[in-house]
Structure 1
Amino acid sequence: MAHLRFLIPALPPGTPDGTLFLTGEHRGWSSDPAGWTFERSGEGAMLDAEVAAGTLLGVKVRLRLPDGEVREEGDRWGGRAPAHTLTVLEEGGVFPLDLQGWQTPQDPPARPSRSAPPRDEWTLPAPWGEQTVRLWWPAGHDGRGLPLLVLHDGQNVFDEAPTFSGQSWQAGEAAQALAEAGHPCLIAALSVNAERSRRYVPFPIALNAFDPGADEYLDWIGTQLLPALEQAFGDVAPARRALAGSSFGGLVTLYGGLRDPGRFGTLGVMSPATWPDDFAVRRWMTGRAAPEVRVWLDMGDHEAHTVDQAAEMVRLTHDLAEQLRPLVREVQVTIGEGHWHDEAAWAARFPGFLTWWLRGLDGGDAQGASEERADPVTLGLRP
């Protein structure tokens, strides 16, 4: 076991009295303070803990008020904040926790945006209610006739204000840079709400109440979204369309691309969460050929609870690539060094995906069954 000292140098101004405690993936995000309580000292607080070496920690600070209400740390505008991440080494050490504020019941939070917002937003009818479509095209262009990228988790891909935890993919900046290099595209990003697990997971699991809605979602993309985009921006041949997403969004991308092989020519399968229903997608995809489809498949090397488990995730990603190669035209495997399962990692890898997709449309930089390592410096706008 390694000895860690979690140190909060200064609590956010106005922090009320109550029990400060640490939670995270290692505790199943429990709100029970027992065993993980901070001791307040001056303006800050401190917690000493023993954690197994090799653990990949994602943690947050919570506060239990005297009346039993539990608050979680947030950003300075009262929105959700990303987790603090740490690889536990044998020698342990001091791990500072910079708290910006506490979450408030404000929806959406009043956080500003650092990144480029979309050019337009649509609201289209869908079986689950109104569907927000966030649209982007390059400066100086009207978006017509461009290759089309449909992205899941559209609330997270452009500006930070509507994001889940204050981090975005910076998709507009990445796409503008490619446009200026001669490879423009149109992006249609589909926002999602609390029904994400139902809409993106095609197999029955507890998170979707054993009532999957991925087929309904993919049907809507084909019968409603694509015709609406065609009417506004002109027809785009399937070979020039891409579908992409991360985590469950990566799962529904893989599933949708193989389910309807003539709809999208490229799939961006980022950090796919393939575990639902005991890796059912691996069984389902057997024999489902999509011979004209190119697949970008990526994974970070810190996407698990321990270093060993993360290495296993990378191995499973390579196994998935090997299963895909006989079914599709091309597979590009990218492993993000030092990348966790979060928006910061997907922002770092997104420019590499865009470059590979768009240049591949012209026959350039096509690498067949290939692999590369990615890090935030070489492929990202900001680490």
Structure 2
Amino acid sequence: MIKRGIYTLFTGCLPLLGTAQHTLTVNVSGVPPSHADDPIYITGNFNSWNPAEEHLVLEKHADGSYGISVLLKDVPSDRLEFKFTRGDWKTSECTADGWLVGPRLAKLNRDTTITCLIDGWRDDFPASTASSNVHVLDSAFYIPQLDRHRKIWIYLPEDYETSSERYPVLYMHDGQHLFDEATSQGRIGPIEWGVDEVVDAAATKCIVVAINHQADYKDRVPEFYFLPNEDNPTVEGPQYLAFIAETLKPYVDAHYRTLPGKAHTALAGSSMGGLITFYGGLAYPEIFGAVGIFSPSIWLDHGNIENELTTLTNIANIHTQRYYFYAGTSENRRKPDGTFVHMNTDVQRAIGLLRKAADPQIELSVREEGRHGALYWREAFPAFYQWFIAGAQKAVY
């Protein structure tokens, strides 16, 4: 089962730029019978997604329902986002069969009352959501280029042990967030990509190799910058990409039944991982024939990727690559100077430069109202996977 879904109330919201200051009243008419004595919290984009803010505890009524009224300030009037927890993300609300979903959505352009039903609590279900086809390749794989160790995951098709088939390989960053809620983290809870469920359900399988990022998010950043900038003068992206291309891929090809050629090898990632994926495609076009770039943080790169695209040298190899870009129309970011960056605009500009420089095959997926986060990348991943496999099937072995 692909773990997807989103609660939506008052749909059809207009993309207003103003903020609201109105009273939100939320009534919960029903909850699961478990954990009846636990407090229930509301959290959302009005409190930086703190899952246990004391003044946001719902009041329990005599009939077993719950409610809260709160004055909310500085919330985008077209997009209130919220969830319920019992105090942390492990106790977040979920579907009746245990899957985490995205936030509930509503307008808040006036005093608003919403009635909800909580179907389940996540901690009443097994913590791990990983498919049985997900394995740990190595809990501490050595990265000689950076002199450090890293956990590496590998997804092997269910018939891998009983067949002699060889498979395309997809390399991905941020391995913690791809297969298992138990290891995922996120702004709105531990929502994972569901990569394993997508490949499980696909007619044509591949091997997926996923590299964990550094345990501390601040240490993740240098590995995902390829070129230094004024905010990050020391970067490790070249070494990190060299590890994937020159150490990890040869190891995987030597120990697993892969199709090692360019046309059957992909690299994919999101956000800062999307940015380093973009550089990975440009730096190793003879290795990565397919490149999946989800919501790349181009705006943090201080123009480096644009300069790179205007000075490419390995144009012949880049021309024979395939690039898949994904962006949401609501992936907006406020810069330190107060101006806004629009992800979709950044991606469109980069695509134009890439086409002008080398004209590889390019696919662009734009989601209306799409925002920045694993929920949206999870929903975008199946189309990318089918695109990758379709291209690999056309290639000459």
Question: What corresponds to 1:167 in structure 2?
Answer: 191
3-state SS, counterpart of residue 181 of structure 2: coil
Distance of 1:6 and 1:100 partners within structure 2: 21
Quote the offset at 1:50 in angstroms. 3.9
CA contact (8 A) 1:39 1:47 kept: no
Whether 1:263 and 2:278 are equivalent positions in the alignment is no
Equivalent of 2:321 in 285, 289, 293 = 293
Matches within 5 A, 1:290-329: 290-304=318-332, 312-326=342-356, 327-329=358-360
Quote the offset at 1:96 in angstroms. 6.7
Change (3 A) 1:357 1:238: same
Matches within 5 A, 1:88-237: 88=107, 90-91=109-110, 93-94=112-113, 112-123=127-138, 124-126=141-143, 127=146, 129-142=148-161, 145-164=166-185, 165-178=189-202, 180=203, 183-192=204-213, 193-194=215-216, 195-204=219-228, 210-234=233-257, 236-237=260-261
Distance of 1:320 and 1:132 partners within structure 2: 32
Q: Deviations over 1:14-39 (max 9, x none)?
A: 6689xx89674x777799x8xx9548
Distance of 1:139 and 1:213 partners within structure 2: 35
TM-score by length of 1: 0.73
Equivalent of 1:337 in 364, 368, 390 = 368
Distance of 1:8 and 1:354 partners within structure 2: 40
Number of equivalences = 339
Change (3 A) 1:39 1:111: closer
Distance of 1:204 and 1:99 partners within structure 2: 48
CA contact (8 A) 2:295 2:343 kept: no
Change (3 A) 1:251 1:59: farther
CA contact (8 A) 1:39 1:46 kept: no
The 10-residue stretch of structure 1 (345-354 or 156-165) with the greater mean CA deviation from structure 2: 156-165
Whether 1:246 and 2:261 are equivalent positions in the alignment is no
Q: Deviations over 1:326-372 (max 9, x none)?
A: 324211000123433222211211111111111112339xxxxxxxx
Distance of 2:71 and 2:303 partners within structure 1: 38
The amino acid of 2:112's aligned partner reads G
Equivalent of 2:71 in 12, 26, 48 = 48
The amino acid of 2:209's aligned partner reads A
Whether 1:282 and 2:310 are equivalent positions in the alignment is no
Q: Which runs of 5+ in 2 are unaligned?
A: 1-18, 61-65, 94-99
Distance of 2:133 and 2:168 partners within structure 1: 17
Quote the offset at 1:149 in angstroms. 0.5
The amino acid of 1:75's aligned partner reads K
The amino acid of 2:394's aligned partner reads G
Distance of 2:84 and 2:253 partners within structure 1: 47
Change (3 A) 1:221 1:351: same
CA contact (8 A) 2:134 2:154 kept: yes
Distance of 2:55 and 2:108 partners within structure 1: 22
TM-score by length of 2: 0.71
Change (3 A) 1:101 1:305: farther
Question: What corresponds to 2:12 in structure 1?
Answer: none
Distance of 1:61 and 1:333 partners within structure 2: 34
Q: Which runs of 5+ in 1 are unaligned?
A: 64-71, 104-109, 365-383
Distance of 2:68 and 2:119 partners within structure 1: 11
Quote the offset at 1:100 in angstroms. 8.2
Distance of 2:229 and 2:104 partners within structure 1: 28
What is the CA RMSD across the aligned residues, in angstroms?
A: 4.1
CA contact (8 A) 1:261 1:293 kept: yes
Change (3 A) 1:85 1:328: farther
Distance of 1:176 and 1:21 partners within structure 2: 35
Question: What corresponds to 2:380 in structure 1?
Answer: 349
Distance of 1:163 and 1:176 partners within structure 2: 20
Quote the offset at 1:158 in angstroms. 1.5
Distance of 1:302 and 1:111 partners within structure 2: 33
Matches within 5 A, 1:58-97: 73-76=88-91, 84=103, 86=105, 88=107, 90-91=109-110, 93-94=112-113
